Amino acid sequence: DFFNQLNEKLSRKEKKMKRALVILMLALLPLVALAQKDIRETQSQITYEIPLNGPQGAIQQKNYDKVKVESIVAQIRDAKTRGDVQRSEQLQNELEITTGNISEKSSGNNDGFQVNNEVLNQNIPAGDYNLTIINGTDANWSVATSTDRVTGRIYVVSTKFASGVSDTVKVFTSSNNGISWVLVNRISYGSAVHFNNDEIDVEAMNNGTTSYVYIVAGFNFSSVNYSAIYRLNSSGSEFYSTNLYTASASTSFINPRLTSDNSKYTSLSYLYIILTQDTLLAGNLHQLRTKFAIITAPYTAAPTVTYRNFFSNNSYFWIATSVADTTKMYNDIAFSDSASFDKIVTVSNYYKYSVTNLYLTYSNDYGATTPTYCPSITDANVNYKPRFASTGLDVGGFQYMVITYVRKFSATDWDPYYQRTTNNGVTWTGGYVDASTDTTTYADVIAIPRIPNTFRFAYSTISNNSDGKAYVRAYNGALIGTRLLLNQTPSSINYTPVRAGYRLANTDSCFTVVQGLPSSVGIYAYSGCSGTLTGTGTNETPVSFKLSQNYPNPFNPVTKIAYELPKSGLVTLRVYDILGKEVATLVNEVKNAGSYSVDFNASNFTSGVYFYKIETNGFSDIKKMMLIK
């Protein structure tokens, strides 16, 4: 009996221990779940007021006549739509006076630096359909790319390392979707200037007749960090440059980024620039602040740079004061159209600081006054180098924008992450571009202009400290395509490994540049994201016939007409005058399924109303456009 009672007691105790263990496991389940990635896209938390725990301190803004500013801005938008350059400049001068901003015209002396540029126009041997190696023997600090949406011309710009002498900027261009290239210009300094890692950005622009590329770059000379801006045309013959702001031993201007509204306007586009001012304080502490500039006449011989820093502390908005030397501030900028105003949006983050949110600004007046509102996107994870892209044209009252960045999940697991909005930034949703366990070193995104909700991601990863791999993913209508490996040669893990671009191809519009190894030598230009390059890819074939409204409209003298074909067939696209007389045939040939666009140049036509009509596979549609000279 004694042993029976003992066994019964032990049995009861064992049952209690089992129940306790089950309870403990249930309690730990949420912690286990937290250690797993949630790969679902989720609604992001937005703070629409300046966060109390953010980097921003108290700020005083200048006084201005708000009603007058709104009136001037509305008139500027009207002048830009009509292509009235003279009226736009008059209004911008009036806006400067009203708000108290300061314009600085390029003096051409680059603050004492001797800038040299050589027009080269050297042909680069073509590769195959997918890959061409550009400057295969050069080591580069950084690389960037941009595409002229009017002509499809692609630009690639690199900062070439040179030992003991000045580094150089090399400008390459391709007119056949990245298959063959021309080295059009080489920019250098008379002094021992060295460009900084990943401090280069480019923006292709077209005024309807000439293709240009703007370049911003950060460089170091005698331990002082400068930022400069350059502009060239497609042949390299028209050159302009100037430094941005005035740097010193205690004040650096770094991490410049730029964008334009050329996706909406052609003959009267604006260029927008954002960069970081890093001021050295006592005790080796730093003050980091955003700086904003605008060029309202980017096609003139010597453009005026207008610095718009509206606050009493001489910043555009976001500031972090008294931070350690290890803290880095990164920014990016995008243009977003809306139904009633042009919107300039910026994003900033602070790497190796106590705050990890993404900090935004929205301006409805070209950055002339206090940003309309300054929300932050909550992110508890450490993040690095946000990159911003917008499709740039209003679609039914909404606008699509995407931010991508490298986001920490664990000590060895960093991921390319995104935030996207379909309503011009009212709400944001976040998700993984790639949720693998590799360590992502760099992430980039670009939008395909005027095609709603269409973006291209590019990113690089390393695993077990090995050399990197580069990937591209298409993003169409909120659907992320297959992860596609680009490089057979490992990419650099020390400098800018990969940058996203696009090409004006019908169904395979990816374009990506990758820096190669060893020692970051060479730039690899990949055209496409399907076919022989990767074996599989995404298909962007339209689901229905569509004729889009021409843009810009009204126009002078060039406008773009886009159309979509869900299947192949004979396509005719003709232009008629107000009396119904055919005046031009833009397309008259068999086309494969896909998305297309064609330019209508009305240089030889008189002002007035015209109609364009598409006919294919039993489908027809007519739309009206207006030429104003």
Q: Which residue has the higher pLDDT, 557 or 3?
A: 557
Please state the separation of Cα 495 from the chain's center in Å: 18
pLDDT tens by residue, 231-253: 999 999 899 999 999 999 999 99
Q: What is the 8-class DSSP label of residue 75?
A: H
Q: Residue 178 above 50 pLDDT?
A: yes
pLDDT tens by residue, 371-422: 888 899 999 999 999 999 999 887 666 789 999 999 999 998 999 999 999 9
- List the Cα angle 604/608/611 in 5-degree steps: 90
Helix, strand, or coil (residue 284): helix
Residue 528 pLDDT: 79
Helix, strand, or coil (residue 92): helix
Output the pTM of the full model: 0.79
Q: 34-43, 226-235, 406-415: which range is least confident on average?
A: 34-43
Q: Residue 83 above 70 pLDDT?
A: yes
The count of residues in the chain is 629
Q: Residue 355 above 50 pLDDT?
A: yes
pLDDT tens by residue, 145-159: 999 999 999 999 999
CA atoms of 342 and 259, how far apart (whole Å): 13
Residue 341 pLDDT: 84
Half-sphere exposure of 90 (CA within 13 A, CB side): 7
Q: What is the 8-class DSSP label of residue 125?
A: P
pLDDT tens by residue, 456-473: 999 998 876 566 788 999
354 CB burial (10 A radius; 0-12, 13-18, 19+): exposed
CA atoms of 258 and 105, how far apart (whole Å): 18
Q: What is the DSSP string of 136-189?
A: EEEEEEEEEEEE-TTT--EEEEEEE--SSS--EEEEEEESSTTSSEEEEEEEEE
CA atoms of 340 and 194, how far apart (whole Å): 44
CA atoms of 474 and 471, how far apart (whole Å): 10
Kindly give, in sequence order, each residue whose CB lies less than 8 Å from that of residue 615, ignoring residues fewer than 6 positions away. Answer: 571, 572
Burial 294-318 (b: 16+ CB within 10 A, else e): bbbbbbeeebbbbbbbbbeeebbbb
Q: Which residue has the higher pLDDT, 524 or 125?
A: 524
Residue 104 pLDDT: 75
Q: 484 forms bridges with which residues in the sheet? A: 472
Q: Residue 84 above 80 pLDDT?
A: yes
Q: What is the DSSP string of 370-382?
A: S-SB--EE---S-
Residue 28 pLDDT: 47
Q: Residue 102 above 80 pLDDT?
A: no
Q: Across the chain, what does the average pLDDT equal?
A: 85
Residue 31 pLDDT: 42
Q: What is the 8-class DSSP label of residue 398?
A: B
Q: Residue 274 above 70 pLDDT?
A: yes
Please state the separation of Cα 215 from the chain's center in Å: 13
CA atoms of 447 and 335, how far apart (whole Å): 11
Q: Residue 30 above 70 pLDDT?
A: no
First to last CA, the chain: 111
Both tokens of 266, joined, read: 């052609």
Q: Residue 25 above 60 pLDDT?
A: no
Burial 30-52 (b: 16+ CB within 10 A, else e): eeeeeeeeeeeeeebebbeebbe
pLDDT tens by residue, 316-328: 889 898 999 999 9
Sorting pLDDT into bands at 50, 70 and 90, what band is 476? confident
Both tokens of 286, joined, read: 């730093």
- List the Cα angle 516/226/229 in 5-degree steps: 75
**Mean local confidence (pLDDT), 362-369:** 92
**Mean local confidence (pLDDT), 605-624:** 93
Using an 8 Å Cβ cutoff, are 226 and 220 in contact? yes
**Mean local confidence (pLDDT), 603-607:** 91
pLDDT tens by residue, 497-555: 799 999 987 667 889 998 876 555 788 888 877 533 322 223 345 667 888 888 777 88
Both tokens of 262, joined, read: 């050329």
Coarse DSSP helix, strand, coil percentages of the chain, rounded to the nearest 5 percent: 10, 50, 40
Residue 158 pLDDT: 93
Residue 133 pLDDT: 84
Outline where DSSP puts E strands in 324-400. 328-337, 342-351, 358-363, 376-377, 383-390
Both tokens of 423, joined, read: 């309503």
Sorting pLDDT into bands at 50, 70 and 90, what band is 583? very high
CA dihedral of 123, 128, 134, 138, whole degrees rounded to 10: -120
